[in-house]
Amino acid sequence: PNSFLKIIPVWKDGWDEQLGTVLPQTMVEYALQANQTYPDKRLIIHFMQPHHPFIGEKGRKNIRINEGIQASRRLALGFKVAREERPIIWKLVKEGKLDKNIIWESYQENLQIVLDYAQKLIEKLKGKTVITSDHGNLFGERLFPFFWIKEYGHARKTYAKNLIKVPWLIIETNERKKILPGEKTEYEVQKDGTEDNQMKEKLKALGYIN
**DSSP string over 179-207:** P------HHHHS--SHHHHHHHHHHHHHT
Q: Which of 24-38, 66-80, 196-210 has the lowest mean pLDDT?
A: 196-210
Q: How many angstroms separate the Cα of 64 from the Cα of each of 111, 114, 204?
A: 18, 20, 27
N-term to C-term CA, the chain = 18
102 compared with 66, residue with greater pLDDT: 102
pLDDT at 107 over 70: yes
> Which of 41-50, 105-114, 155-164 shows the lowest per-residue confidence on average (mean pLDDT)?
155-164
Longest dimension (CA), the chain: 53
One-letter amino acid for residue 91 of the chain? K
